[in-house]
Amino acid sequence: MAETRVEVRSGVYYDSVILMQLQRALAVLPGIIEAGVVMGTPANKELLSQTNLLPAEAAAAKPDDLVIVVAAQDAAAAGAALAQVNELLTHRRTTLEQEYRPQSLEVAAQALPAAAWVLVSVAGRYAAGVARQALGLGKHVFLFSDNVPVEDEIALKQMAAAGGLVVMGPDCGTALIGGVGLGFANHVRPGPIGVVAAAGTGLQQVTARIHQLGGGVSHGIGTGGRDLTEAVGAITFRQGIDLLNRDPQTRVIVLVSKPPAPAVAAQMLHLARAATKPVVVAFVGRPPIAAQVGNLHFAAGLDHAAEIAVGLLDQAETPQDRHAIEQFAPSQRYLRGLFSGGTLAYEAQHLLADYLPAVWANAPLNKAYKLPNALHSQEHTIVDLGEDEFTVGRLHPMLDNELRIRRLLQEAQDPETAVILLDVVLGYGAHPNPASELAPAIAQARQLAADADRHLAVVAVVTGTDADPQNLDGQIEQLRGAGAWVTTSNEAAARQAGQLLLPLVTPSVRSGLPPVNLTLLGQPLAAINVGLESFADNLKLQGASVIHVDWRPPAGGNERLAGILARMKKTSA
């Protein structure tokens, strides 16, 4: 006669892989019809109920109880199966050769002092506590566990960032550090393409395709799926971009994510524009804004991102004008824009937001950056000289260059000015030959800077046609003769100015976070593993140094007692 038997064990802990192995081992024993091995959470008990494996004893189990249920053809088969549980657990398959298993992170850290990482894959309700311990020991964290409250994620990442540490996750399925895969990872050839991903399988697909296309991967930094929400604020994503931008082994950066929050997406694009390397953007579900904008290359999907990244390897040089950058003096940091066209000034502000942290203006797009005094620039500044404050009692700057020339020379003498951006608007009603006055002023301004051992870059846009009375080509020729970089595209002019300024803004300032030490990427990977034993096995197979912790829930899973013990430990410390 069929019989179902239950065994509930309190105060024990096994990772989910071991529970799965035990369930499968029990299910194939003689006389067993079905078996279930789970922790006693409501969701797990619901699953047992659906397979008719939830008798009263199992239904009464607590979330921290191990529940073992067997449905057998008769009582003898059921009893025999349960009698083998301990033996099956003892003989669980593992490739990890580790005779001694510490029971705490502290002891494990002493046993493997080279470990920079702690892999955490325990149940979600314990994961934040383990991760917090790891950070307290100065370790970076790969947080595989899911069901971690977003409040804990924010607190952990803020704690990590303040100490120059990284938390990848929670719910971070995969990562690749120096050729060693963490969590679920593919074996890919090493190479110069680095990936930052808020999508685990997205990171796997991109890196696998890079490998298939003949490319190689330096690092794959996972962040967890919630990192690009406004609540979390892309803390790990920002750290990842900054790390790969400074990493000498990485020549091309790929960014992968499911649709990020719009405000966060804009911030990440801004940060990516500040990189000194080509960046491929694959925000799945977010339409590309263009095929390419400066150093950003927008992909239509994951495969396309891999194709672009591999294709960029032959041309992955620093996009800035290195000759100009090297000549800027240490004091030179800022842009000064002097416009006669109000709409051109507005567009320049909008475009420069991709490159610079803030642009002040007398007619600002962002009212928070209203210039207190239009007669004096501060930090990065764009002045519309056609605004009412400048035109009362004098001609518009499209007709009269006097005020702009005076301001140009004033900015040139400021030791903090690196780039001057200006427009020259042609056409009927405008100055008959504006370059005849502006070109000598540009040459004089550049000479003033040179006399002070500074390099002044001047970028100009000429708005007009070859049919205008001022002679478009002649205007451009005069301005270039004075040393200006000249284009007929306002967008191109703004982006050229922004590109020149990018190296003058330090990466750690741009990301808004303290920089993480590059040794994280450069040293051989060594790790402490807490949770899924198979993750330690995988690291061992890849040649990494690893120590597995024989972890158990604090106080046997009794949260009230665990809280008391934690307070006592804090007091004694």
Check residue 127 and give its pLDDT: 93
- Give residue 62's pLDDT: 84
Domain map (residue ranges) of the chain: 3-90, 105-318+518-555, 334-504
Please say whether the beta carbons of 184 and 200 come within 8 A: yes
Instruction: Report whether pLDDT(261) > 90.
Output: no
d(CA 305, CA 218): 16
The model's pLDDT over 102-143, given as tens digits with 9 standing for 90+, comes to 989 999 999 999 999 999 998 888 899 999 999 999 999 999
Lowest mean pLDDT among 70-84, 218-232, 548-562: 548-562
Assess whether pLDDT exceeds 70 at residue 270: yes
Say yes or no to pLDDT of 357 above 50: yes
Q: What is the mean pLDDT of residues 467-473?
A: 95
Q: What are phi and psi of 127, to 5 degrees?
A: -60, -45
Q: Give the residue carrying structure tokens 């999508």.
A: 199
User: Any idea which architecture 3-90 has in CATH?
Assistant: 2-Layer Sandwich (3.30)
CA dihedral 182, 183, 184, 190 (to 10 degrees): 0
C-alpha angle 208/171/186, rounded to 5°? 20
Summarize the confidence of residues 94-108 as an average pLDDT.
74
- Give the count of beta carbons closer than 10 Å to the beta carbon of residue 543: 10
Q: What are phi and psi of 331, to 5 degrees?
A: -75, -20
Q: What is the pLDDT of residue 317?
A: 47
Average pLDDT over residues 220-235: 96
Whether the per-residue pLDDT at 64 is higher than 90: the answer is no
Q: Please tell me if the domain spanning 3-90 has the same topology as the one spanning 334-504.
A: no
Q: Bridge partners of 217?
A: 193
pLDDT surpassing 70 at residue 556: no
Amino acid 316: pLDDT = 46
The CA distance from 68 to 362, in Å, is 72
pLDDT at residue 405 is higher than 50? yes
Rounded-to-integer distance, Cα 181 and Cα 217, Å = 11
Please give the average per-residue pLDDT across 514-519, as a whole number: 93
Using pLDDT thresholds of 50, 70 and 90, give the confidence band for residue 88.
Answer: confident
SS (H, E, C) 158-215: HHHHHCCCCEECCCCCEEEECCEEEECCCCCCEEEEEEEECCHHHHHHHHHHHHHCCC
Cα 122 to Cα 411: distance, rounded to the nearest angstrom: 59
* pLDDT (average), residues 293-312: 93
pLDDT of residue 319: 43
pLDDT, mean of residues 283-298:
83
Q: Tell me the pLDDT band of 571, cut-offs 50, 70 and 90.
A: low
- Per residue in 234-248, pLDDT (tens digit) is 999 999 999 999 999
Q: According to the model, what pLDDT value does residue 211 have? A: 96
Give the burial class of 50: count Cβ atoms within 10 A of its Cβ; 0-12 exposed, 13-18 middle, 19 or more buried: exposed
**The pLDDT value given to residue 297:** 94
pLDDT at 482 over 60: yes
For a pLDDT cut of 70, what percent of the chain falls above it? 91
pLDDT confidence of 322, banded at 50, 70, 90?
Answer: very low
How are strands ordered across the β-sheet holding 292-293? Answer: 180-183, 174-177, 217-222, 190-197, 252-257, 279-283, 296-298, 292-293
- Rounded Cα–Cα distance for residues 292 and 297 (Å): 4
Q: Does domain 105-318+518-555 bear CATH number 3.40.50.261? A: yes
d(CA 110, CA 338): 61
Give the mean model confidence (pLDDT) for residues 493-510: 79
Q: Give, in words, the CATH class of 334-504.
A: alpha beta
**173 and 225 Cβ atoms separated by less than 8 Å:** no
Q: Which residues pair with 197 in a beta bridge?
A: 222, 256
Q: pLDDT tier at 415 (50, 70, 90 boundaries)? A: very high
How much of the chain is in helix, strand and coil states, percent to nearest 5?
A: 40, 20, 40
Q: Rounded mean pLDDT of 149-175?
A: 96
Q: What is the mean predicted confidence (pLDDT) over 346-373?
A: 90
Q: What percentage of the chain reaches a pLDDT higher than 90? A: 66
Residue 75 pLDDT > 60, yes or no? yes
Residue 486 has pLDDT above 60, yes or no: yes
Per-residue pLDDT, 7:
92
Query: Is the per-residue pLDDT at 191 higher than 50?
Result: yes
Residue 440 pLDDT grade (very low, low, confident, very high; cuts 50, 70, 90): very high
pLDDT at 14 over 90: no
- At residue 121, the pLDDT reads 92
Average pLDDT of 207-214?
A: 95
* pLDDT computed for residue 534 by the predictor: 87
Q: How confident is the model at residue 65 (pLDDT cuts 50, 70, 90)?
A: confident
The pLDDT score that the predictor gives to residue 559 is 56
Pick the residue with more confidence: 388 or 12?
A: 388
Is the pLDDT at 568 greater than 90? The verdict is no
pLDDT given for residue 418 in this prediction:
96
Entry pTM: 0.71
